[in-house]
Structure 1
Amino acid sequence: MPPEAGARRRFLAAAALLALPAAASFAQSARTEAAASLRFGVLPVGGAVESRESWTPLLGDLSRALGRPVSVLSVSSYESLDQAIRRGDVDFALLSAKLALDAVAQQRMKVVAQVKRSAGVPAHRAVLLTRKADSPRTLKELLDAPERWRLARGDSRSVSGFIVPQQELFLPHGIAMERFRSELVDTHQGTALAVANGDADVATNNTTDFERFRLQFPVEAARLQVIWESGPTPPALFVVRRDQPATLQKQLQDFLVSYGQARGARGDAEREVLKQLHAPLGYLAQDNSALLSTAALDYQLARQRALNAKWVSQEAREARLERIERSYAQLVAALRGAAP
C-alpha cells in the first residue's frame, strides 16, 4: 500500500472516531427533546386539583398523539400563571382573552385555537350576582351608592370578572371599582361563594362559571340572583410559545380542532371530555387576529379611565390619550399581520 493511501486511511478512521461522540450526543439530544414533557398551563375554575383532574383525559390523549409526555400547571391566580409564562415554565396554555393578549404581545406566544361557539348556544357573558334576600336587590340600588357595598371581583386581567363590568357598566356611570366599600379578588367560584355566604354584597362573574357553580353548589347558588348581564365576551384561547417547532405547533392545532369530531366510541368519549371542560362544541383553529376584539376592549377601558381621571392640565390628558391611540394602533397592526 502506498504511504499516502495508508495515511489517508488512518486520517479517515481518526475522523470517524472523533465524530462518534458528537453523533451520539446529537442523537441523545434529539431523544431528550422528544421525551421532554410539554408543559400546559391553565387557570383553575375551582381548585387546582379539580382543574388537573378535568384536563387529565384530554392531555392524556394529546400525549399519545404527540408521543411525548404532557404535564399540567394549574395555578390559583392570573398573576401566578402570568409569572410562569414569563419564566418560560409554560409551553402552551388555555388563557382568558386578556391574559392571551398579554402573552402574545409581551411573551412571544401565538394563538392556535379557541373555544368554539355557535349561534345556537347561549353566549358567554359577564354578570353581577347579589343575594336574593338582601340589598342591593336591583342594579339601580347598586349604582346609586357603590360605597355602601362590598365587591367580590376577578383579577384585573379577567375579561368577565373585571374588564367588561368596568368598561360596559361602571365607568359609563362614572364609577371606578375602587369606590366600593371594600374589594375581594378571587376566582369566579370564590366570588360567588363570597356573596352566597355573606362575605360580600355583589360579585362579578360570568354565565358559564355561574352555571357550573349551580351544579357544584346548588344550595349556595339558590341564594343568588343576576342583576346585570353584559354583551357577549371574547372566548378563551389556546396559545403556544413561538419558539416551539412549527411542526409541533401544527400538531397541537390539528389535535385540538379534531378532538371530539370523530364518529363512534372514540368520538363519544372525547365529546364527554369536552362537556366536562365546558367546551361541548370543541375547538376552532385561530390565529392572533382572534385577539382584535380583546384589544379593542382593552383600548376602550384605558381611554375611559383616562377621560374619567383628574389631570394637572388638558395637555397632560391629551398626551395620555395620544399614547393610548398610538399603542392601540401598533397592537392592531401586529395582530393583523400575524400568520395563522
Structure 2
Amino acid sequence: MQPLARIIPLLFLLITLLQAGPASAGKGLVMGLVYTESPKSLLESWTPLFEDMAEYVGVPVSGAVTGDYAGIIWYLATDKAQIAWVGNKAAIEAVDRADAEVLVQAVTPLGPGYYSHLIVPEDSPLQDVDDVVRQAATLSFGNGDPNSTSGFVVPGYYVFATRGLEPDKLFKRVTHSTHEKNFHDAAAGRVSVATNNSSDLARYRRRFPEEFQRIRIIWTSPMIPADPIVVRKDLDPVLKEKIRAFLLQYGRPAQGKTEARVQREANRLATWKWTGFRESDNSQLIPIRKLELYRERLGIERNDSLSEETRRSRIRAIEAKIERLGPDTTTP
C-alpha cells in the first residue's frame, strides 16, 4: 500500500498539470505597461479597462508597471505578464526575444498611426532640424528609451542617420528619458531639444496646460504605425481569442451594450487618444524593422574604417534582410 500511497498524489499532480494547459492564466492575466507618466496615474487610467476585460474574459486582470520597455519584455519572457501595451520597437523585441505576437493595433483619430516630434523650449532660438544640427555641440538633447519607436528609432533614422550623424557624438550632452520627463525637461529648459510624440503631447496639453505653452514643436515625422497590444504566443488560445474579441469591440456598439456603456468605454479610450482597436499581426512591425535596417546600412556606408569589400558584403546582407521583409507603404 505504501508505494500506491506515494503514486496517487503524483497522479493527481499530473492530472492537474494536464488540465492547466498552455499558459492558461487561470489565476489571472497581467498586462505590462511602461509609464511615460507617473506609475500611479497610469494604473488609475488603465484600471477601468482591466475591470471591463476581466468581466468579458472571465479571469482577473491587473497591471504591472515598469520604467522602461526592457522591463516589459522581461515580464513577457518570464510569464510575469501575458499581455502588454508597447510601441512598435519594443514589440519587435517582444516578438524576437519573448515569444510574443501582435494581437491588435490601436486606432487614433488620425487612423492607425501617430507622429514623432522634436520639441524645444518655447523661447528657444531653434527653429528647425538644421538649426539643431548646426548648434548641436552646444546643446543638450533629451533622447528617448532605446526601445521607444517615437522617442528613439524614428527620430534616430529621419533626423540623424539620414545625415550621417550619431546623437551621442553630436550633442554636448545626451540623456535618455520617458516621454513625460522629456516634456517637462524641455518646458523647464533643462534640455535644449527633446523627442516626443503626438499622442503623449495631446495628453500633456490637457494635463499640464501651462507647461504645454512653454514648449514648441520643430519637427514632425512621417506617420508611425499605432501601438500594438502583444500577447504571449503560448497563452491559452481560447483566452487569447476572448481578449482579441474584447478589444475589437471596446468603445464600439455591440450586442447587449447600452449607449451609455459604449460612451463610457469611448471616454476611457480617449485617455490615450485612441478611438478603438483593429485587427493586426506581426506584419505591422515591418516598417520599423526596415527603419532599423536602413539606419544600419547608412552607418556602414559612411564607415570609412571598412574596406570596400567588407562594406559591400555587409550592405548586401542588409539588403537581403530588407527584401525578405517584403513590401510596405512606409519605407523612407
Other-structure match for 1:26: 15
* Cα displacement (A) at 1:137: 3.7
Other-structure match for 2:140: 150
Other-structure match for 2:102: 111
Other-structure match for 1:7: none
Q: Deviations over 1:30-54 (max 9, x none)?
A: 5895641211111112011111111
Q: Distance in 2 between matches of 1:43 and 1:78?
A: 6
User: In structure 2, what residue type is equivalent to 1:214?
Assistant: R
Q: Distance in 1 between matches of 2:290 and 2:85?
A: 21
SS of 2:222's partner is strand
Q: Deviations over 1:156-204 (max 9, x none)?
A: 2211111111211222223211111111111111111111112110011
Q: Against the structure 1 CA distance between its residues 254 and 316, is the aligned structure 2 distance closer, same or farther, given a 3 Å change threshold?
A: same
Contact 1:153 1:204 (C-alpha < 8 Å) held by counterparts: yes
Segment drifting more, 126-135 vs 309-318: 309-318
Segment drifting more, 157-166 vs 308-317: 308-317
Q: Against the structure 1 CA distance between its residues 173 and 63, is the aligned structure 2 distance closer, same or farther, given a 3 Å change threshold?
A: same
Q: Distance in 1 between matches of 2:17 and 2:122?
A: 63
**Is 1:249 aligned with 2:243?**
no
Other-structure match for 1:273: 268
Other-structure match for 1:163: 153
Q: Distance in 1 between matches of 2:137 and 2:187?
A: 20
Q: Distance in 1 between matches of 2:106 and 2:13?
A: 43
Contact 1:163 1:301 (C-alpha < 8 Å) held by counterparts: no
Other-structure match for 1:209: 200
**Which structure shows the bigger proportion of residues in helix conformation?**
1
**Is 1:186 aligned with 2:180?**
no
The unaligned stretches of length 5 or more in structure 2 are: none
Q: Distance in 2 between matches of 1:75 and 1:214?
A: 24
Overall identity of the aligned pairs, in %? 26
Q: Distance in 1 between matches of 2:37 and 2:108?
A: 23
* Cα displacement (A) at 1:286: 1.1
Q: Distance in 2 between matches of 1:318 and 1:186?
A: 36
Other-structure match for 2:305: 311
Q: Deviations over 1:108-145 (max 9, x none)?
A: 111110002465x6951111111122332443321223
SS of 1:269's partner is helix
Contact 2:100 2:231 (C-alpha < 8 Å) held by counterparts: yes
Contact 1:38 1:68 (C-alpha < 8 Å) held by counterparts: yes
Aligned residues: 315
Q: Against the structure 1 CA distance between its residues 104 and 21, is the aligned structure 2 distance closer, same or farther, given a 3 Å change threshold?
A: closer
Q: Distance in 1 between matches of 2:301 and 2:223?
A: 25
Other-structure match for 1:39: 30
The unaligned stretches of length 5 or more in structure 1 are: 1-14, 336-340
Q: Deviations over 1:279-316 (max 9, x none)?
A: 1x210011222222222222222222222333331122
User: In structure 2, what residue type is equivalent to 1:297?
Assistant: L
Greater Rg, structure 1 or structure 2? 1
In the superposition, the TM-score normalised over structure 2's length comes to 0.86
* Cα displacement (A) at 1:218: 1.7
SS of 1:183's partner is strand
